[in-house]
Structure 1
Amino acid sequence: MSTLNPAPETDAAKRVLPPKPKAAALVALSFTLLLYLVELADVILPGDLDQGGIHSRALSGLDGVLFAPLLHAGWSHLFANTVPVLLFSFLAMAAGIGRFALVTAIIWVVSGLGVWLVGPANGVTVGASGLAFGWLAYLLVRGIFNRAAGQILVAVVLLGVWSGMLAGLLPGNPGVSWQGHVFGALAGVLAAWLTGRTGKSRKAEPAVPGNLEG
């Protein structure tokens, strides 16, 4: 008689689409709606909510790391981020909403801290594009760490369709935080590596033979 460990959840890490697409779509839509509500509040309320973004290398602006992805410099800025945020966040939930939350937290914090450290001194950085670049980078490399052919195929398609976004990684575009894009992308790769390692550590142990006496 042998004692077997529970089957590992290896398939979850290699999925291409969310296991619960309706729930994933609801999460993606809800987050996007939140961005629109924040921008509407910025328009209606007195003051300037955008000042709550990231003020680089200023201790008083460090809390902007938490708020910057929710803020946008006008409706056109938000419109430009809407489709990438919706699509990439939905696809990034392939391993489950819990894994997506971890990936998003890594991207959110690392990209924000990167902007705070090396961003422009005179200015405030806002916008969800750092998240979008992070999710895209995560989607592009997760298949390598997970050794999942389906995810690699999705990455090839995404790279072909969204290759124009890569220009946002280069400096020289006025008003564009290339630092946020670069650190967002690096954070996405880091998140893919960390979550890939987590998946590998959960492989099942070999069966243990049991002894029957009597």
Structure 2
Amino acid sequence: MKKNQNFTFTTGVIAYPVLFVLLIWLVFWFEVRFGINLSKYGVYPQSLKGLRGVLFSPFIHGSITHIYHNTVPLFVLSMALFYFYRSIAWKVLFFGILFSGFLTWSIGRPSYHIGASGVIYVLVSFTFFKGVFAKHYRLVALSLLVVFLYGSMIWYTMPIKEGVSWEGHLSGLITGLIFALFFRKEIAKPEKYVWEHDDYNPDDDPFLKHFDKDGNFIEQIEQPEVRLDETEPKVYYHYVYKKEDSKT
């Protein structure tokens, strides 16, 4: 990420997450509409055929509850990813799917592992650790927000609930941490104010010229010089004197 890159809002910040989520819902609609079960295309550990799930599993969900609980945080976190880390967002998202899926394939139980929760854990982990490593106030604030919203997800990286792929969650958590370390120097810089630049000189600041040394505002009123042409008749003014000042 270039050092002069700033946090800016672009159409891709919303468009890409929306398209990603819509694709997941489209796959689910296809399953329901035609009565097809695509779970066999999920990750099946230690099986050559199960490797296809590394790419396909994030788009396959078992129920409406499953897809709902996955796509909402996926949308929020991917928006944050494209806003704060847009130059590396696609790398984190694409390779996050591959690495977390392959790690799940390596350590998972012999069963089909489906759902986008592994990708969610990649984004949660990456966003949190990246903000901590960056020590940038905006990114640290984002990390704290992620902890507040999704901090309880850490418990699901352990086998505490039947039917939950804790291996996929753990794989995503590890992948996100590795990415945060790998891209630790890729930090967007906030746009600097004029007084934050190294070559800033207060004496040259046109704004400060409106204030005195005590910080009081100096009202500057330009009064054009009035000159009477000698060829024009003289101007006489009518004054009203106070009674005590008048002389008769």
Q: Where on the TM-score scale, by shorter chain, does this alignment land: which range? A: 0.7 to 0.9
CA deviations 1:132-166 (Å, max 9, x no partner) are 11101111011233332220121112212222222
Secondary structure of 1:63's counterpart equals: helix
Moved more, 131-140 or 105-114: 105-114
The 1:11–1:138 alpha-carbon spacing in structure 2 relative to 1, beyond 3 Å, is farther
How many residues align? The count is 188
Task: For 1:33-72, list aligned pairs within 5 A.
Answer: 33-72=22-61
- What amino acid is the match of 1:182? L
Moved more, 143-152 or 124-133: 143-152
Secondary structure of 1:125's counterpart equals: coil
CA deviations 1:143-195 (Å, max 9, x no partner) are 23333222012111221222222221121211111111111011111112222
Q: Are 1:190 and 2:183 counterparts?
A: no
Instruction: Tell me the distance in 1 between the aligned counterparts of 2:152 and 2:26.
Output: 28
- What does residue 211 of structure 1 align with? none
- What does residue 100 of structure 1 align with? 89
CA deviations 1:113-134 (Å, max 9, x no partner) are 111111111x200000111111
- What does residue 9 of structure 2 align with? 20
Conserved 8 A contact 1:55-1:64: yes
Conserved 8 A contact 1:42-1:50: no
Conserved 8 A contact 2:30-2:36: no
- The alpha carbon displacement at 1:98 in A equals 4.1
- What amino acid is the match of 2:50? G
- What does residue 156 of structure 1 align with? 144
Instruction: Tell me the distance in 1 between the aligned counterparts of 2:72 and 2:116.
Output: 11
- What amino acid is the match of 1:9? K
- What amino acid is the match of 2:69? A
Q: Once the two structures are aligned, what percentage of the paired residues are identical?
A: 24
For structure 2, the residue ranges without an aligned partner over 5 or more in a row are 189-248
- What does residue 145 of structure 1 align with? 133
- What amino acid is the match of 1:89? S
Instruction: Tell me the distance in 2 between the aligned counterparts of 1:11 and 1:141.
Output: 22
**TM-score, normalised to structure 2's length?**
0.70
Secondary structure of 2:82's counterpart equals: coil
- What amino acid is the match of 1:131? V
Match of 2:103 among 106, 114, 122: 114
Instruction: Tell me the distance in 2 between the aligned counterparts of 1:70 and 1:172.
Output: 24
- What amino acid is the match of 1:72? H
Please report the RMSD computed on the Cα atoms of aligned residues, expressed in angstroms: 2.0
The 1:156–1:97 alpha-carbon spacing in structure 2 relative to 1, beyond 3 Å, is closer
- What amino acid is the match of 1:128? A
The 1:199–1:96 alpha-carbon spacing in structure 2 relative to 1, beyond 3 Å, is closer
Match of 1:10 among 3, 13, 17: 3
Q: Are 1:181 and 2:169 counterparts?
A: yes
Instruction: Tell me the distance in 1 between the aligned counterparts of 2:177 and 2:28.
Output: 29
Instruction: Tell me the distance in 2 between the aligned counterparts of 1:154 and 1:198.
Output: 16
- What does residue 21 of structure 2 align with? 32
Larger RCO (CA within 8 A; separation ≥ 6): 1
Conserved 8 A contact 1:141-1:152: no
For structure 1, the residue ranges without an aligned partner over 5 or more in a row are 1-7, 201-214
- What does residue 122 of structure 2 align with? 134
**TM-score, normalised to structure 1's length?**
0.81
Conserved 8 A contact 1:143-1:151: yes
- What amino acid is the match of 1:178? W
